[in-house]
Chains A and B, each alone.
Chain A
Amino acid sequence: MDILNNILAGQVPMELYLGVSLIMFFAGVYGFLSRKSMLMILISIELMLNAADINFVVFNRYLFPGHLEGFYFTLFTIAIAACETAVAIAIIINIYRNLTSVEVGNLDQMKE
């Protein structure tokens, strides 16, 4: 109850943001390890990158207010994530055209 009052009275503490991004990151890790479809693996990677973005922004805002380092790191990470997704989806579509399947178990047939 005390903790709840503290949280509701003041600002949102930093570790709550970190906890949310932590859960998001490890949901991504679980999906990355437990799924077979390459698109699902890509979705998991997006989750992990997004969790890292939240951490950059939160550390910047709480520990170095007035600076913009974490802000720009997040900006560039978003751009790199978009690049990575575009190339990965191009590769996935190409693989689907050759193998009519996007499961990682079939990828050993890729050599022509």
Chain B
Amino acid sequence: MAQQIIFFVLAAIVIIFSILAVTSKQIIRSATYLLFVLLATAGFYLLLGYNYLFAVQIAVYAGGVMVLFIFAILLTNRPGESLKTELPVRRIAAGLTAIAGLAFCAHIIYYNVKKVSDLVAQADITPQQLGHTMMGTDKYQYLLPFETISILLLACIVGAIMIARKR
């Protein structure tokens, strides 16, 4: 019962704030609404029993990425200036595209996913299990993607510094 109530509160937050985030006129407000969406998503992870993902989502998204966004907005935006959107025709076209895609996917989900809605109880994922899965090279172990991500992060740091430095 409590799980359902928490789910519906989080779902309402996600839906309302994700729509507000893309329709708001002030970009700093958009970023704040995006922060709420990301926090509610972290709540979903907690509700599904993935505590580690909850922590990662809070630390990386709500911490790191949002700080980057706020810095970029404050560096590139004059305060109080409202944003320009595309022409009304293009906004209507964008809305129609989004609604058409939404209807299509909702139809697929409604008629095909209904049969698989049992939530089987699952033991908590222990840190040992996480570590063994991340640090092995067997089947269902993820050392290679982990190292690839670390190289990607390194390249990304170097690239960001190279692009953004003053000439």
For B21, the chain A residues whose CB sits under 8 A away are 27, 31, 43, 47
Write the nearest CB–CB distance from A96 to chain B, whole angstroms.
4
For B133, the chain A residues whose CB sits under 8 A away are 68, 72
Q: Which of A21-78 contact B (CB under 8 A)?
A: 22-24, 26-37, 39-40, 42-44, 46-47, 50, 53-54, 57-58, 61-63, 65-69, 71-72, 74-76, 78
For A12, the chain B residues whose CB sits under 8 A away are 3-4, 7, 119
Assembled-state Cα–Cα distance A50/B119 (Å): 22
With an 8 A cutoff between CB atoms, is A110 at the interface? no
Contact B119 A61 (CB under 8 A): yes
Contact B119 A11 (CB under 8 A): yes
A35 to chain B: closest residue by CB:
B85
Name A's interface SS: helix
Name B's interface SS: helix
- Give chain A's interface residue range (CB within 8 Å of chain B): 35 or more
Write the nearest CB–CB distance from A1 to chain B, whole angstroms.
15
For B69, the chain A residues whose CB sits under 8 A away are 39, 42-43, 85, 89
Contact A93 B140 (CB under 8 A): no
A31 to chain B: closest residue by CB:
B22
With an 8 A cutoff between CB atoms, is B135 at the interface? no
Contact B86 A78 (CB under 8 A): no
Contact A93 B72 (CB under 8 A): yes
Contact B101 A29 (CB under 8 A): yes
> What are 12 A-B contacts with C-beta separation under 8 Å?
A15-B113, A22-B102, A22-B106, A40-B27, A40-B30, A43-B21, A43-B69, A47-B34, A67-B140, A69-B140, A71-B125, A72-B134
